[in-house]
């Protein structure tokens, strides 16, 4: 069987690597290399990193992360150290190593600077260095990111998205092995801001439903803690869209994976681990693409459901609620030890105990409504 994978980002390379046991695979990537332009903070769990060690080397490793400081809008904070640790990777190296690994496989043909344009029956029209060409395929996998052309050509619905904006700049982190998460209405209308430390710099960003540049400026210039620790101008600026929920991503001999399918953690915007699980599932179920969709959603559906509930809570909580939560959280750090960053359902195990600590009935009602009832 011949499979055309459109997109040589992490989802496309991982899909091809898992399909190559069963099919001859061609990856078309429109850019001269993978990982360009960078739209990522590079934070992945150590579980994810150790599973990907078959494909990537420590050359992409920039930092190791022990946990997170969660900051309320007044600058007060609580330290969370969960079950999972994390690493920060350099996506330019990470993505190119994945694509190179795919190119080394006998059954995978990688074509860079080649753009998928359209389809006619089982022939795909691509435009590469030698002009236009028709590629014959039996199945096509769209791994071409959130603005997927494959999804458009085949009429798949598009996932709802949030907007992200991130800078890298000199920064004095509270601890160089802890990420910082910033909550409050001045830093996002529905999500949070973050800083991922990299020695004497950090990737500092926000995710919001609109106007991310305003929230990012607020964070860098007005936040009571962050603004005092930003030490220099911007070294790098990235913007991007983050899908919030998977769509129905398989039909006939066409399937989507990664951001094209909306496969990110709804409560953090992190995509890579969920793409890896999708690629494994695709490899296991191929050529039955409907089974790929069903089995992936069976494995991950509950995690998406819980992730959406956590994300819902961000919009319900006020600045005062966050200040209160930090105070309460300071006495309950041991509950965080049970959380895993890839698994929002791990929160469900601790949430009844946490709600008991909430003396404010309005706050406990918000937690109960969002997390337990999904309202
Ligand atoms: C600011 C920001 C920060 C983030 N931080 C994190 C994080 O810390 N951790 C994490 O896990 N995730 C993070 N994410 C999400 C993560 O970056 C994405 O989930 C991930 O990059 C998606 O991978 P992908 O392979 O699906 O798509 P992409 O990485 O977008 O790759 C798609 C590829 O397809 C190619 N392509 C597109 N159209 C065509 C075409 N027509 N023909 C040929 N090739 C084509 C593109 O050139 C590209 O190489 C972040 C996202 C943003 C925006």
Q: Dump pLDDT digits (tens) for 92-105.
A: 999 999 999 999 99
Number of structural domains the chain divides into: 3
The 10s digit of each residue's pLDDT in 150-159 is 999 999 999 9
- Ligand 1 neighbour 44 (Cβ under 6 A): yes
pLDDT of 144 reads 97
Among candidate residues 276, 306, 336, the one where a domain is terminated = 306
Percent of the chain at pLDDT exceeding 90: 82
246-265 per-position pLDDT tens digit: 999 999 999 999 999 999 99
Index of the ligand 1 atom closest to the CA of residue 148: 38
Closest CA to 72 of 329, 351, 339: 329
Q: Which of 126, 59, 46 is nearest to 95 (CA)?
A: 59
Ligand 1 pocket test, candidate residues 247, 270, 274, most atoms within 8 A of CB = 270
Same domain, 82 and 103: no
Instruction: Report the pLDDT value the prediction gives residue 355, as an integer from 0 to 100.
Output: 79
The pLDDT score that the predictor gives to residue 14 is 98
Q: Does residue 276 sit in the same domain as residue 356?
A: no
Q: In the predicted model, what is the mean pLDDT of residues 297-306?
A: 95
Ligand 1 atom nearest the C-alpha of 164 is: 1
Same domain, yes or no: 155 and 70: no
* Closest protein CA for atom 41 of ligand 1: 116
* Mean pLDDT computed over 215-224: 97
Q: Is 157 left (phi over 0), alpha (psi -120 to 50) or beta?
A: beta
Q: Is there a single domain that holds both residue 111 and residue 260?
A: yes
CA 259 to ligand 1 center in whole angstroms:
6
What pLDDT sits at residue 55? 96
Query: Which of the listed residues 306, 337, 352 is the one where a domain comes to its end?
Result: 306
Domain span including residue 182 = 65-87+162-243
Residue 87 pairs in a beta bridge with 44, 64
Q: Is the CB of 270 under 6 A from ligand 1?
A: yes
- Is residue 221 domain-shared with residue 114, that is, in the same domain? no
Please check whether residues 98 and 17 belong to one and the same domain.
Answer: yes
Residues 340, 280, single domain; the answer is no
277 plus 299 within the same structural domain: yes
Residues 320 and 74: their CA atoms lie apart, in Å, by: 9
- The rounded mean pLDDT for the chain is 94
* pLDDT at res. 334: 80
> Across residues 320-345, what is the average pLDDT?
87
Query: Is pLDDT at 186 greater than 80 in this prediction?
Result: yes
pLDDT at 256: 98
Token output for 69 = 């400081």
Quickly state the pLDDT bin for 49 (edges 50, 70, 90).
very high
Are 255 and 123 in the same domain? yes
CATH number at residue 128: 3.50.50.60
């Amino acid at each position: 069987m011949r499979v055309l994978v459109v997109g040589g980002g992490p989802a496309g390379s991982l899909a091809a690597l898992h399909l190559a046991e069963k099919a001859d695979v061609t990856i078309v990537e429109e850019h001269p290399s993978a990982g360009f332009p960078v739209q990522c903070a590079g934070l992945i769990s150590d579980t994810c990193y150790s599973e990907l060690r078959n494909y990537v080397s420590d050359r992409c490793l920039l930092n190791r992360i022990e946990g997170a400081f969660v900051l309320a809008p007044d600058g007060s904070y609580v330290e969370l150290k969960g079950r999972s640790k994390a690493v920060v990777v350099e996506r330019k190296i990470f993505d190119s190593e994945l694509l190179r690994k795919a190119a080394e496989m006998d059954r995978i043909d990688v074509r860079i600077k080649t753009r998928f344009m359209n389809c006619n029956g089982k022939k795909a029209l691509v435009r590469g260095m030698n002009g236009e060409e028709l590629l014959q395929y039996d199945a096509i996998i769209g791994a071409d990111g959130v603005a997927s052309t494959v999804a458009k050509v085949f009429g798949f619905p598009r996932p709802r998205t949030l907007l992200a904006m991130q800078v890298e700049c000199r920064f004095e982190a509270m601890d160089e092995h802890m990420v910082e998460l910033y909550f409050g209405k001045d830093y996002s209308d529905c999500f949070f801001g973050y800083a991922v430390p990299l020695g004497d710099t950090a990737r500092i960003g926000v995710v919001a439903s609109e106007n991310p540049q305003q929230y990012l400026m607020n964070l860098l210039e007005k936040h009571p803690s962050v603004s005092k620790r930003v030490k220099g101008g911007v070294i790098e600026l990235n913007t991007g869209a983050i899908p919030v929920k998977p769509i129905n991503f398989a039909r006939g001999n066409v399937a989507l994976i990664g951001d094209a399918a909306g496969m990110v953690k709804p409560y953090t915007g992190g995509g890579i681990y969920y793409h890896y699980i999708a690629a494994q599932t695709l490899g296991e179920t191929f050529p039955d693409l409907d089974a790929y969709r069903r089995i992936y959603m069976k494995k991950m559906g509950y995690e998406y459901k819980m992730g959406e509930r956590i994300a819902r809570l961000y919009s319900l909580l006020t600045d005062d609620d966050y200040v209160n939560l930090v105070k309460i959280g300071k006495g309950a750090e041991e509950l965080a030890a049970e959380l895993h960053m890839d698994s929002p359902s791990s929160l469900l195990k601790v949430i009844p105990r946490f709600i008991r600590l909430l003396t404010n009935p309005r706050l406990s009602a918000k937690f109960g409504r969002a997390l337990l009832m999904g309202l």
